[in-house]
Amino acid sequence: MSSSAPNPIVPAIEMTGVSLGSCDEPETAVLENIDWTVTPGEYWVIGGMHGAGKTSLLSLAAGLTAPLQGRYRLFGQEMPAKGDQFLAERLRIGLVFDNGQLFHQLTIRENIALPLYYHRNLPEAELEKIVHTILEWAGLTPSAGSLPGAVGRAWLKRAGLARSLVLQPEVLLLDNVLSGLDSRHVHWWLEALDELAAGRTPLGSRPLTVITAAEDLRPWRARAAQFAVLHQGRFRALGHHPQLSELDDPLLKELLAEPLPAA
């Protein structure tokens, strides 16, 4: 009696020899020769100074841009995947921008509901239930009827996260979402992302693959995450948190450094 071998796990993200352009100059390489594999359910934090290529890398991972060289696969599918036949693949990714990137003529609730109207043919009652659940989870119910211009930046960031979650993506990409937040909001984000990575999501129980870019690694250093840094046009995977203290890396030390006391 023979037994079949288990099916290998298809990487959520697989980049091989990837070079990519910057968002401002798409034909000029900002990062080169990236070899990076992300297993479904992993939690990555990618550190780098301003201009290191963090946003460009996330845009590529989201399928918004194509690599200058190399290959990128999302769950085995070559990216960027264009055409309506690949829409389901693209919707497996949620992207959260630093400032939320909301439509200013729509209310917070309407912004969050918009992907459902575009991509899901749901009865109105079911759609309302989903949006209500997400608003409650993100603490946005009091602001649901407000336009983005009347809402503080911290809440706009949460609205951007809520909008990215309504389609229940499998991969969540986040661009510098802790910048400019006070300690209360930072704590909320760290706890929320831990919950999402563990599968305790507002709309289901499937763990998300979480990848966040940051200029400051200090808030993340005690989180259960894989770390990487971007420096001088290169992507360098560093390993799990316990390994960071063993690395003698000047950039890593700077990204983890405590701030200087006020004069």
Report how many domains make up the chain.
Answer: 2
- Same structural domain, 68 and 181: yes
Q: 211 vs 58, 134, 163, 220, 261, CA distance in Å?
A: 9, 21, 17, 12, 31
- Boundary of a domain, candidates 127, 150, 168: 168
- Same structural domain, 73 and 182: yes
- Same structural domain, 128 and 60: no
pLDDT digits (tens, 9 = 90+) for 33-75: 999 999 999 999 999 998 899 999 999 999 989 999 999 999 9
Cα–Cα distance between 170 and 90 in angstroms, integer? 10
- Same structural domain, 69 and 179: yes
- Same structural domain, 84 and 182: yes
The CATH code of the domain that includes 83 is: 3.40.50.300
CB of 44 closer than 8 Å to CB of 193: no
CB of 196 closer than 8 Å to CB of 169: no
- Same structural domain, 28 and 81: yes
- Kind and range of the H or E element at 13? strand 13-21
Residue 51 lies in a domain: yes
- Boundary of a domain, candidates 153, 168, 183: 168
pLDDT digits (tens, 9 = 90+) for 223-252: 767 999 998 999 999 877 656 666 666 666
pLDDT digits (tens, 9 = 90+) for 102-159: 999 999 999 999 999 999 989 999 999 999 999 999 999 999 999 999 999 999 999 9
- Same structural domain, 216 and 88: yes
- Residue 123 exposure: Cα atoms within 13 Å on the Cβ side: 3
pLDDT at 11: 95
- Same structural domain, 84 and 175: yes
Cα–Cα distance between 240 and 181 in angstroms, integer? 25
Domain span holding position 115:
99-168
* DSSP letter (8 states) at residue 66: -
- Same structural domain, 66 and 26: yes
Query: What's this model's pTM, rounded to 2 decimal places?
Result: 0.89
Closest Cα to residue 208, out of 129, 62, 99, 93? 93
Residue 108 lies in a domain: yes
- Boundary of a domain, candidates 140, 168, 196: 168
pLDDT at 86: 76
Residue 258 lies in a domain: no
- Residue 181 exposure: Cα atoms within 13 Å on the Cβ side: 22
Residue 24 lies in a domain: yes
Residue 256 lies in a domain: no
Cα–Cα distance between 158 and 191 in angstroms, integer? 13
Q: 162 vs 31, 58, 203, CA distance in Å?
A: 30, 18, 11
Cα–Cα distance between 95 and 45 in angstroms, integer? 15
> Distance from first CA to last CA of the chain, Å, rounded?
76
- Same structural domain, 70 and 132: no
- Same structural domain, 82 and 127: no
pLDDT grade for 255, boundaries at 50, 70 and 90:
low
Residue 38 lies in a domain: yes
Residue 1 lies in a domain: no
Quote the tokens at residue 130.
């989903």
- Same structural domain, 66 and 85: yes
Q: What is the DSSP string of 127-145?
A: HHHHHHHHHHHHT-GGGTT
Cα–Cα distance between 112 and 165 in angstroms, integer? 9
Residue 64 lies in a domain: yes
